[in-house]
Amino acid sequence: MTADRRDISSAGQSSGKPSAGGFADLGPRVASAAAMVIAALGALYLGGDVFALFWLAAAFAVSWEWQNLIGGEGRAPRIAVGGAAVAAAMAFGRVSMPGAAALAIALLAIAGAALAGAERRLWAATGVVYAGALAFSVCLLRESPDVGALAIAFLFAVVWGTDIFAYFGGRLIGGPKLWPRVSAGKTWSGTITGVLCGALLGLVAVYLGAGPQLANWRVFLVGLAAAAFSQVGDLFESSVKRRFGVKDSSQLIPGHGGAMDRLDGFIFASAFAAAVGLLRGAPSVAAGLFFW
């Protein structure tokens, strides 16, 4: 979950320096982010069904926003299919059945594509996979024995840290744009600052949660990769919104956009973390992130 997702990494950098009112919007964004952070941390602490339902709701919101954003025919049944996909992904993630989750998401993505018009079939299927990946990865990681909660806390620190420091790095340093065709505000300085600081904060979270024995350079490299993936997720969502001519994924969060705008980076980072854990073949998926 991100601190803010409307190109906050370096908005207002047209001159390469902060504009006169460069931080005028910081207060409302901090207040909105604080409420979401408290909710996410509370769900993480409680775990179990509370955690799963929290992320089921978040993933369903992402699926709903995606299908509305791309428009076209069959929108209501596509939303229902997306809801079924995130529910299946959550259920299989909680019992560590990645093969069953992948099959369910793939079949429901095909169903979503079949319900869409020819021009939007790939987009409709992609939305099912996008939301399903979120529900599956967070539940798979959280339910890992011993270090499941630490894995989610690590991702929170990495993604939130990346966003926050990209925001300040981009606004204070400025400089060349990262990819102006996709994100007009994002700069190289903000992105690099964010990725480095996000990885460092992830390492701090591991140190505080498990001690120095796990907080090593390998975990720092995992954090760097997760932070980089979170920025890719930001650019991906920006490109989708640009393709369909919208500023925010929805107005679900009044005045601050939608769930996709907040979770785009976290979706990519959590999917990356789950993939690393699965590929490493450690005693649990989350353990694969920390024990090398």
pLDDT band at 257 (very low <50, low <70, confident <90, very high): confident
Q: Are residues 159 and 214 in the same domain?
A: yes
152 and 128 both lie in a single domain: no
Please check whether residue 270 lies inside any domain of the structure.
Answer: yes
22 or 134: whose pLDDT is higher?
A: 134
Would you say residue 185 lies in a domain? yes
Backbone conformation region of residue 258, classed left if phi is above 0, alpha if psi is from -120 to 50, else beta: beta
Q: Report the distance separating Cα 165 and Cα 268, nearest Å.
A: 18
Instruction: Kindly state whether residues 86 and 135 are assigned to the same domain.
Output: yes
Q: What's the pLDDT at 28?
A: 65
Query: For 196, what's the count of Cα atoms within 13 Å in the CB-facing half-sphere?
Result: 7
Q: Which of 116, 143, 170 lies at the terminal end of a domain, its last residue?
A: 143
User: Which residue, among 3, 1, 15, has the nearest Cα to 170 in the 3D structure?
Assistant: 15
My answer on whether 158 and 139 are in the same domain is no
Rounded mean pLDDT, 106-116: 97
Q: What confidence score (pLDDT) does residue 30 get? A: 73
- 190 vs 30: which has the higher pLDDT: 190
pLDDT over 80 at 19, yes or no = no
Indicate whether 128 and 207 sit together in one domain: no
Structure tokens at 172: 């204070």
Q: What angle do CA 76, 80, 81 make, to 5 degrees?
A: 115
pLDDT for residue 254: 62
Residues 121 and 248 grouped into a single domain: no
My answer on whether 157 and 209 are in the same domain is yes
What gap in Å lies between CA 240 and CA 70, rounded to an integer?
A: 9
Mean of pLDDT values over 16-40:
66
pLDDT of 90 strictly over 50: yes
**Per-residue pLDDT tens for 92-102?**
999 999 999 99
Indicate if the pLDDT at residue 16 is higher than 70: no
| C-alpha–C-alpha distance, residues 286 and 274, integer Å | 7
Both tokens of residue 192? 């690099």
Of 101, 119, 143, which residue constitutes the final position of a domain?
143
Torsion, Cα 107 110 112 116, to 10 degrees, reads -170
Per-residue pLDDT, averaged over 117-122, amounts to: 93
Residue whose entry in the numeric block shows the structure tokens 């076209």: 72
Report the Cα–Cα distance between both ends of the chain, in Å, rounded: 27
67 and 135 fall within a common domain: yes
Q: How far apart are CA 98 and CA 274, in angstroms?
A: 10
Is the domain of 154 the same as that of 269? yes
**Average pLDDT score, the chain:** 89
- Among 110, 143, 176, the domain boundary falls at 143
205 and 263 together in one domain: yes
| pLDDT tens digits, one per residue of 242-252 | 999 988 888 77
In this structure, is residue 7 part of a structural domain? no
Q: Are residues 87 and 214 in the same domain?
A: no
Q: Kindly state the average pLDDT of the residues 152-167.
A: 96
| Inside any domain, residue 220 | yes
Residue 41 lies in a domain: no
Q: Confirm whether 160 is domain-assigned.
A: yes
Domain span at 161: 145-291
Residues 255 and 159 in one domain: yes
The pTM of the full predicted model, rounded to 2 decimals, is 0.89
